[in-house]
Amino acid sequence: MNVLITGGAGFIGSHLCERLVAEGHHVICVDNLITGTRVNVSHLQSHGRFQFLEHNISQPLDVEGPLDHILHFASPASPPDYLKYPIQTLKVGSLGTLNALGIAKAKGAKFLLASTSEVYGDPQVHPQPEGYWGHVNPVGPRGVYDEAKRFAEALTMAYHREHGVDTRIVRIFNSYGPRMRLDDGRAIPTFIAQALRGEPLTVYGDGSQTRSFCYIDDLIEGIRRLMDSDLHEPVNLGNPDECAILEIAKRVLTYCKETASRIEFRPLPQDDPKQRQPDVTKAKTLLKWQPAIDLEEGLSKTIAWLSRYAGLSPSRG
């Protein structure tokens, strides 16, 4: 296959590039490097089946030759990133999605949109099934990401219904693993980076808010299965094992035994979801997919990778 991946130098995008190149496919990685980095795909540069294009998909892009799949993963994804780049986030969710869908229509390619659990906002239904419409503050600070993804989903379905584009939508819940930036701002890399540096682990609120963390290898397997499916409606992918943020911080301290870090509590940000847990019944039933890597194994692998990246060597007991 010939595959174009927008946001391909980001955390999830780079793992997709790696997986598809390893399978023998030709991959064009498009990224403007606003939050991604060339380092994430540097090991693929020597492959004849891999091509990197530095480009902002919010601007039109001409691609020569045939394409079989377009995977649209371009967007800031962590709160510090999309709060820093609010207009760019809205543009890539709207104009970027429009441009990527236009390429898919012109090439007759299948299209997969990377959406997010943030379309559910601060949910009033728990766990969150795909049929839940969400509880989102459109004018709050997080709305730039939430509404960009909600619009991207609507645009994707419109291209499917109006133009017959063969589309997929994956709603990604919290994911983690190697290649996350130390300054990513999301809970797991932040806690690990703080522990490696001996800094306080910053927990917002009382830490009782929950998240469900899926290791990157499990997520990539789910996305790969969705690519080969004929499912056009959104599909949740994430780990249904729910865990309080405070418990995550305590586990990181347990694995980083040599750290002098302690937990420090700070005020809860505006519109921060109180709970987040995917209903993955659809993925289990139709994709025959479910997470295989538990939090203990995933955290251990992530700490090992980030400790090498940071040049530190904590004990994990």
Catalytic residue annotation = 145
Return contacts of 61-68, CB within 8 angstroms, 24+ apart. 61/30, 61/99, 61/103, 63/4, 63/28, 63/103, 63/107, 65/2, 66/2, 66/107, 67/2, 67/3, 67/4, 67/28, 67/103, 67/104, 67/107, 67/109, 68/1, 68/2, 68/3, 68/109, 68/110
Count CB-CB contacts under 10 A for residue 163.
12
Beta-bridge partners for 275: none
Beta-bridge partners for 243: 211
In eight-state DSSP terms, residue 269 is P
In eight-state DSSP terms, residue 125 is S
> Whole-angstrom Cα distance, residue 154 to residue 229?
20
Asked if the bond preceding 127 is cis, omega within 30° of 0, the reply is yes
Instruction: Identify the burial level of 86 via C-beta atoms within 10 angstroms of its C-beta, where 0-12 means exposed, 13-18 middle and 19 or more buried.
Output: middle
> Whole-angstrom Cα distance, residue 310 to residue 312?
5
In eight-state DSSP terms, residue 119 is G
Q: Name the strand (E) or helix (H) holding 154.
A: helix 143-163
Q: Does residue 214 sit in helix, strand or coil?
A: strand
> Whole-angstrom Cα distance, residue 221 to residue 16?
9
Question: For residues 170 and 234, is the Cβ–Cβ distance under 8 A?
Answer: yes
